[in-house]
Amino acid sequence: MSIGTDTIKINEVVISRNKYNSDPAGYKKTTIDSSILVNYSNSNLSDMLSENTDIFIKSYGMGGTATPAFRGTDASQTLIDWNGININSPMLGQSDLSLIPVGLIDDVQIRFGGASMSLNEGGIGGTINLVTKPLWKKETLISINAGTGSFGQYSGLMKVKTGNYKFQTVTKGYFQNSENNFRYLNTEIGSEPVWQTRTNSQVRQQGFIQELYLRNSNNIASARIWYESADRNLPASLLTQPNTGEKQFDESLRTMLNYDAFKGSTDFSFTGAWMMSRLNYFNRLASIDSRNLSETLTLKAGLENPIGEYAKLKIVLDEQSSVIKSNNYAHNTTRNTATMTASIERNRNRFGTTILLREILDKNNLLIPDFSAGVQFRLIDNKTYYLKANISRNSKIPTMNDMFWVPGGNPDLKNEYALIYEISYEMSQKISEPFNLKYDLSVFRYNIKDMIEWHPGEYSYWTADNIQSVNSTGAESSVSLDYMRNKINASLKAGYSYTRAIEGGSNIGNDISVGKQLMYVPENKANASFRVGYNNIYSLWVANFVGKRYITVDNSKYLPGYFINNVSTGIKFTLKSSSFDMNFNIDNLFNINYQSIAYYPLPGRTYFVKILFQIVK
C-alpha cells in the first residue's frame, strides 16, 4: 500500500519472468513498501531495515559497520543478494549494510529461513534481495533528490529512466558525505560524565548503477553495472584511546548479464555476474595496513518446465569461483563451488506444495544434500487466508577468512548447517469500505550445528573449528491497517518479534554459556509506524523498540533496551508532468542516549531536510 509520499508510482507490471524469483508455496517472504523506500531514499539500508523490520542490525553508529541478524543467526548466515545473486564478501561472508544506499534500490524483498533456499545457498537466517528493475513504459523519468542535515550530512541522488516497450535504460548516481561529529555524554570515563564530540568519524561515499534492458516477445536481456566506493574514518569506542588513525576504504564493482528466454512451455534463464570487492583497512597506531581484494565470478542457469496441469519443475545450476588477493593470506587463493538445485512446485485448488533438493559441490566432495519442503493451505476459497509450514536443511560454506586467514585459518572446515522449522499464518482482508487489514504470525525453530568459532589453539594464536551449536526459537507477528477515503489516507503498521537464541555449547570444557541467550540478540524487538496524508501534506511517525541485549556470553551484563521515535512531515506539489516534494525529518525525537554495540555512542536528535524533484515526459 503506498500512500502520501509515494512520489514514484510504480505500476505493477510484471516485467521479469526471472524464474529464480518466483514464490514457492509454503514460505514467508515480505516486501518493503515503496513508500518506506522513498522515505529512506537518502539513508542506508541498515537504518531502513532496523526501523521497519524484524531484523536486528548491529551498528557501530553513523558511518560505522552495520551487519544484520535474522532470528538469532549471525551476519555471515544472512545473504544480501542483488537480483538473486549473492553480494556478500567471500572473505568475511557478510555485507556492511551501511554501505548500501536505499535510493539505488527499487525493491527490497526479505525471505526468511527456508524461503531463501529458492534463491541461493547459505542464507540460513534469510536473504535480503535488493531488486533493481525497469519500468516498461514509453516515457522518460528524471528525478533529483538532495538533502542536508545535522552533523554535516549532505547527499544527492539522481535517476534517469528512459526507453520504450522494448528497450529501457536506467542510470542512477549518488553521493553521501557526513562528518558525524555529534555530541554525546560519556559516562564511562572519569568520575563525572563528560560531553564529548565524536571524532575521526567522517564518511564519504559515492556510486552509480547503469542498467540496460531489451525485451522481445519471447526473451528479455539485461546488462547491469553497480559501482560503489566509500572512504571512512572509524571512530573509537568510548573506552579506547581516541585518534588511533583507523580508517577503511571499501570499493566494489558488480556487473551482471542476464538472459531469460521462453520457448514453448519451457523457460530458460542465464545469469553471469562478475564482482570485485576491495577492503583496505589502516590503523596508524598499530601499523596495520591490511589490503584485501576479492573477485567472484558467478554463472547461474535455470530451467523451468511444467509437469502436468498443476506442477512445475525447476532446475538451477550455480557455479561460483572466488579469487582472493590479501596480505592476510599466505598466497592468492581460489575457491570453486558448484550447486545444483531441483525443485517441484505444485498448486491445486487450495493446496500448494514445494519440494526442493540441493547438492553443493565444494572441493570435489559430495556433501549431504540440503532440502526443503513447504506446504500451503488456503483456508477459504478466493480469500487471502493462508496457513503455511516448511521444514528445511540449509547449509553454508565457510568464509574464505575462516579457511585461509594467516594465522589460524582452517582449510578443513566443514559446512555449517541448520534444521529449520517454520509455521505461519497470513491474512489480508477488506474490513469495511475504507479499511483494509493485514495480519501475519510466524513461529520458527532453528537447530544450527557445526557453527564455526575461533578459539585459542595449541599455539598462541587462534584457530577456526566447527564446534558451536545454537538453538533458536521465536515468533514474528505484524499487523497493518490501511484507510483510504476522499482526501485522507492513513496507514498503521506494527510488528513484534521474539527470539530466544540459545547457545548449545561447544566442546570447550566448563561451558558456562550453555543455555544462555546469544550475545547481541535481543529477545524482544518491535516497530510501529503511522502515516497519514491529507491533500498534498503528509506525516509519518516511526517507532522502534529493541529490548535488552546481553554483552557477555554468561548473560551477566547487558545493554538496556531503547525506544526510538522518528517523525517526518512533507508537502508535495504536482504540476502536469513534474512534481516537487519537500520533506523534514527528525530522527530520535526524544534525544535518547542509547547504544547498539557497547561503548559505541549513537546520535541524539538529528534533523534532515530533503527535496525531491521529478519530471516525467
Partner 1 sequence: MKNLIRIIVISLMIVSCQKTPELPNSNYTIGGGVFVVNEGNFRSGNGSLSFYSYDSSKIYNDLFYSVNGRPLGDVPNSMAINGDKAYIIVNNSGKIEVMDQSTLKSTATITGLISPRNISFINDNKAYVSSLYSDSVTIINLINNSISGYINIRRSSESIASTGNQAFISNWTGGKEIMVINTIDDQVVDSIEVGIEPESMVFDRYGMLWVLCNGGWARLNYAELVEINTSTNYVEKTLVFPTKEASPTCLKIDGLGTTLYYLDNGVRQIDISSTEIPSITFIIQESGEYFYKIGINPLNNDVFITDAVDFVKQGYLLLYDGTGKFISKLEAGIIPGSMCFKLRINT
In the complex with partner 1, which residue's Cβ is closer, 23 or 511? 511
In the complex with partner 1, which residue's Cβ is closer, 150 or 517? 517
**Least distance in Å: CB of 212 to partner 1?**
45
In the complex with partner 1, which residue's Cβ is closer, 29 or 548? 548
Q: Are strands 78-82 and 126-131 parallel, antiparallel or unpaired?
A: parallel
Torsion angle in degrees (nearest 10) through CA of 255, 403, 339, 376: -100
In the complex with partner 1, which residue's Cβ is closer, 25 or 597? 597
In the complex with partner 1, which residue's Cβ is closer, 117 or 528? 528
**Least distance in Å: CB of 526 to partner 1?**
6
Q: What are phi and psi of 102, to 5 degrees?
A: -65, -35
The cell numbers describing 478, all together, are 505484524
Give 507-512 contacts, CB < 8 A, sequence gap 24+: 507/467, 508/455, 508/467, 512/553, 512/554
Smallest Cα–Cα separation from 284: which of 347, 200, 340, 218?
200
**Least distance in Å: CB of 586 to partner 1?**
20
* 3-class secondary-structure state, position 323: strand
In the complex with partner 1, which residue's Cβ is closer, 274 or 454? 454
**Least distance in Å: CB of 333 to partner 1?**
19
* Nearest-angstrom CA–CA distance, 406 and 316: 35
* 3-class secondary-structure state, position 243: coil
**Least distance in Å: CB of 512 to partner 1?**
6
DSSP conformational letter for 515: T
Peptide bond into 242 cis (omega under 30): no
Smallest Cα–Cα separation from 279: which of 241, 328, 236?
328
**Least distance in Å: CB of 465 to partner 1?**
11
Helix (H) / strand (E) element for 403: namely: helix 400-404
The cell numbers describing 386, all together, are 493462508
Smallest Cα–Cα separation from 393: which of 74, 117, 128?
117
Burial 143-167 (b: 16+ CB within 10 A, else e): bebebbbbbebbbbbbbebbbeeee
In the complex with partner 1, which residue's Cβ is closer, 142 or 413? 413
* Element counts in the chain: helices (H) and strands (E): 3, 34
**Least distance in Å: CB of 33 to partner 1?**
19
In the complex with partner 1, which residue's Cβ is closer, 340 or 492? 492
**Least distance in Å: CB of 458 to partner 1?**
8
The cell numbers describing 403, all together, are 579457511
**Least distance in Å: CB of 368 to partner 1?**
28
Is residue 177 within 8 Å of residue 152, measured between CB atoms? yes
* Nearest-angstrom CA–CA distance, 47 and 218: 40
In the complex with partner 1, which residue's Cβ is closer, 218 or 556? 556
**Least distance in Å: CB of 472 to partner 1?**
19
In the complex with partner 1, which residue's Cβ is closer, 52 or 354? 52
In the complex with partner 1, which residue's Cβ is closer, 237 or 539? 237
Is residue 125 within 8 Å of residue 108, measured between CB atoms? no
DSSP 155-183: EEEEEEEEE-SSEEEEEEEEEEEE----E
**Least distance in Å: CB of 494 to partner 1?**
5
Q: Which residues bind partner 1 (CB under 8 A)?
A: 187-191, 237-241, 285-287, 407, 455-456, 459-462, 479, 494, 496, 506, 508-513, 524, 526, 528, 545, 547-548, 551-554, 556-557, 560-563, 598-599
